[in-house]
Structure 1
Amino acid sequence: MPEHSSEDLSESSTGVTVKPVVNAIRILRFLTASGSPARAADIARELAINPSTCFNTLRTLVAEEMLDFDPLSKTYTTGLGLAKLVEQLVTQGQRLEIVRPLMQEFAAAHHVTVTLWRRMGNDRIVLVSSETSPGDLRIDMAIGQRLPLLMGASGRLFTARLGLDEERLRAVFDKVRWARSLGYEEYRRQVADASTNGWSVDDGYFSAGILAVAAPVNDRAGAIAYAVSAVTFRGQHGDAEIGKLGQSLCRTAAKVGNILF
Structure 2
Amino acid sequence: MSGPVRSLSQGFTILRLLAVREALTLSDICRETGLSPSSGLNLLRTLVAEGAVDRDTGGKRYRLAAGWGDLGVLQANAVSRFAARVRPLLARFAAAHDATAGLWQVQAGERLSLIALGESGAETRIHMVEGQRQPLGGGAAGRALAAAEALGRDDLAARFARVRWRTPLGFTTWLGQVAEAVQRGYAVDDGYIHAGVCSVGVVVPAAPVRFCLSATIFAGSRDAAALDELGRALSALARRPELRLEPAG
**By the TM > 0.5 criterion, same fold?**
yes
Query: How big is the shift at 1:89?
Result: 2.6
> What code does the residue aligned with 1:236 have?
S
Structure 1 residue 239 and structure 2 residue 224: aligned? Answer: yes
Partner residue of 1:154 out of 138, 141, 158: 141
Aligned residue pairs total 182
Alpha-carbon separation, structure 1, partners of 2:158 and 2:233: 34
Alpha-carbon separation, structure 1, partners of 2:158 and 2:91: 37
Matches within 5 A, 1:92-131: 92-121=79-108, 123-131=110-118
Larger Rg: 1
Alpha-carbon separation, structure 2, partners of 1:81 and 1:162: 26
Structure 2 residues without counterparts, runs of 5 or longer: 1-50, 53-66
Partner residue of 1:90 out of 65, 77, 83: 77
> What code does the residue aligned with 2:76 have?
L
Q: Call closer, same or farther: CA 1:256–1:225 in 2, change over 3 Å.
A: farther
Alpha-carbon separation, structure 2, partners of 1:233 and 1:148: 21
Three-state SS of the structure 2 residue aligned to 1:245 is helix
Contact 2:85 2:242 (C-alpha < 8 Å) held by counterparts: no
Structure 1 residue 249 and structure 2 residue 234: aligned? Answer: yes
Contact 1:139 1:231 (C-alpha < 8 Å) held by counterparts: yes
C-alpha distance after superposition, 1:205-239 (max 9, x if no partner): 110000101111022x4x42211100010111000
Query: How big is the shift at 1:138?
Result: 2.3
Query: How big is the shift at 1:163?
Result: 3.6
Partner of 1:187: 174
Alpha-carbon separation, structure 2, partners of 1:134 and 1:124: 28
Structure 1 residue 200 and structure 2 residue 191: aligned? Answer: no
Three-state SS of the structure 1 residue aligned to 2:193 is coil
Alpha-carbon separation, structure 1, partners of 2:139 and 2:241: 20
Alpha-carbon separation, structure 1, partners of 2:177 and 2:171: 10
Alpha-carbon separation, structure 2, partners of 1:103 and 1:179: 27
Matches within 5 A, 1:202-217: 202-217=189-204
Contact 1:98 1:259 (C-alpha < 8 Å) held by counterparts: no
Three-state SS of the structure 1 residue aligned to 2:90 is helix
Alpha-carbon separation, structure 1, partners of 2:72 and 2:227: 40
Structure 1 residues without counterparts, runs of 5 or longer: 1-63, 66-79
C-alpha distance after superposition, 1:49-76 (max 9, x if no partner): xxxxxxxxxxxxxxx88xxxxxxxxxxx
Contact 1:217 1:224 (C-alpha < 8 Å) held by counterparts: yes
> What code does the residue aligned with 2:197 have?
I
Query: How big is the shift at 1:81?
Result: 5.1
C-alpha RMSD of matched pairs (Å): 2.5
Three-state SS of the structure 2 residue aligned to 1:218 is coil
Q: Call closer, same or farther: CA 1:92–1:166 in 2, change over 3 Å.
A: closer
Three-state SS of the structure 2 residue aligned to 1:241 is helix
Alpha-carbon separation, structure 2, partners of 1:174 and 1:149: 11
Structure 2 length-normalised TM:
0.66
Q: Call closer, same or farther: CA 1:258–1:173 in 2, change over 3 Å.
A: closer
Contact 2:148 2:203 (C-alpha < 8 Å) held by counterparts: no
Structure 1 length-normalised TM:
0.63
Contact 2:82 2:243 (C-alpha < 8 Å) held by counterparts: no
Q: Call closer, same or farther: CA 1:147–1:85 in 2, change over 3 Å.
A: closer
Query: Which range is displaced more, 157-166 or 197-206?
Result: 157-166
Three-state SS of the structure 2 residue aligned to 1:125 is strand
> What code does the residue aligned with 1:225 have?
R
